[in-house]
Chains A and B, each alone.
Chain A
Amino acid sequence: MRKITTLLFATLLSTICLSFVQTSAPNASIQNGKKVYETYCISCHMENGMGVEGAFPSLVKTGNLSDKNRLVKIILLGMRGPLIIKGTSFDGEMAGIEMTDKEVADVINYIRNTWGNKAPLVQVSEIPAAKIAVVKGYQPY
């Protein structure tokens, strides 16, 4: 009886531990996206995502990240201003960056789930369709 109780207790403990690990571990795509961000994006959008007022737009708590097709195009093909974000006008340029589909998905997942942003995760398999999607008003670099 004592053995059964010990076994039950051990099973219960490991189940609790495993469920804790699953819920608290950051998503692998978001984790890798942080590395991609630090490699390609950080020098203009800054470590805290705040950008530079009047020069590089902030990515913090913004609704401008909702269109994933637009984001894919901006990342890979760059963009040109003018654009207005939170009342501030930006008229700069961003060159496109050569990335794999996985890197694009990961960095989008990082940006859209950091600094107060929350969005569903983008899958790598969605990127090819996003590349050819028509995005209204988008101006490549």
Chain B
Amino acid sequence: MAKYKLKVNGKMMEAEVDPTTPVLWVLRDHLNLVGTKYGCGVGSCGACTIHLNGKAMKSCQLPIAAVAAQEITTIEGLSESGEHPVQKAWLSLDVAQCGYCQTGQIMAASALLKSKPHPTDEEIETAMNGNICRCGTYVRIKQAIQSAAKNAHQ
């Protein structure tokens, strides 16, 4: 066990865990941030996507020892009021069906728009490739990202 001081959603938090513990479980079991979901556990589905220094990252395969003082953002910290352009687009287009994957989808989409404010269809597909939606809402996900990109700059 080791004690880690983590910067999560702009706040300093502490967790005493084994260095190999994936960030996903530190967030969910130790910091009570359960918005980030467990899906496959092997970095293949994207349900556990968070931001590490603003970049989308699968937290289920990321050991806590690799994070150190880097900045973690979870769905809870994406915006205080839930009014991030991607979240607003998600609601207005009724993107979610069962909703299990949407945390990861929103985190991946928001990281994409941060690095590429006006992504092409191909860039959206590339960035969202690692996020699976078993309900098959891909068309609405893409529309929501396009809508968020448009509305964020109005």
Q: Is B78 interfacial (CB-CB < 8 Å)? A: no
Contact A52–B52 (Cβ < 8 Å): yes
Given A38-B129, A95-B42, the answer on whether A44 and B63 have CB atoms closer than 8 Å is no
Contact B61–A38 (Cβ < 8 Å): no
Partner of A44, one of B20, B58, B126: B58
Partner of B66, one of A39, A42, A53: A53
Interface centre among A42, A46, A52, A92 (most CB of B within 10 A): A52
Q: List 15 A-B contacts (CB under 8 A).
A: A38-B126, A38-B129, A39-B130, A42-B129, A43-B58, A43-B129, A44-B43, A52-B52, A54-B63, A55-B63, A55-B66, A56-B61, A91-B20, A93-B42, A97-B44
Partner of A93, one of B52, B58, B61, B130: B61
Partner of A55, one of B42, B44, B62, B126: B62
A73 to chain B, nearest CB (A): 17
**Among residues 89 to 134 in chain A, which have CB atoms less than 8 Å away from a CB atom of chain B?**
91-95, 97
In the bound complex, CA of A113 to CA of B99 (Å): 39
In the bound complex, CA of A36 to CA of B62 (Å): 22
In the bound complex, CA of A91 to CA of B64 (Å): 12
How many contacts between A and B, using CB within 8 angstroms?
Answer: 44
Given A43-B46, A43-B58, A95-B44, the answer on whether A54 and B129 have CB atoms closer than 8 Å is no
A residues in contact with B56, CB < 8 Å: 43
Contact A92–B126 (Cβ < 8 Å): no
Q: Given contacts A39-B130, A42-B130, list 18 more A-B pairs with CB under 8 A.
A: A38-B126, A42-B126, A43-B56, A43-B58, A46-B55, A52-B52, A53-B66, A54-B63, A54-B66, A55-B61, A55-B66, A56-B61, A91-B20, A92-B61, A94-B42, A95-B42, A95-B43, A95-B44
Contact A52–B57 (Cβ < 8 Å): yes
Beta-carbon contacts of A21-58 to B below 8 Å, as 1s and 0s?
A: 00000000000000000110011101000001111100
A residues in contact with B42, CB < 8 Å: 93-95
Q: Is B33 interfacial (CB-CB < 8 Å)? A: no
Q: Is B65 interfacial (CB-CB < 8 Å)? A: yes
A residues in contact with B44, CB < 8 Å: 95, 97
A residues in contact with B57, CB < 8 Å: 43, 52
Contact B61–A44 (Cβ < 8 Å): yes
Chain A to chain B: the 5 pairs with minimum beta-carbon distance, closest first: A54-B66, A95-B42, A43-B130, A55-B66, A38-B126
Contact A39–B129 (Cβ < 8 Å): yes
In the bound complex, CA of A109 to CA of B63 (Å): 29
A46 to chain B, nearest CB (A): 8
Contact B63–A92 (Cβ < 8 Å): yes
In the bound complex, CA of A52 to CA of B63 (Å): 11
A57 to chain B, nearest CB (A): 11
Contact A52–B43 (Cβ < 8 Å): no
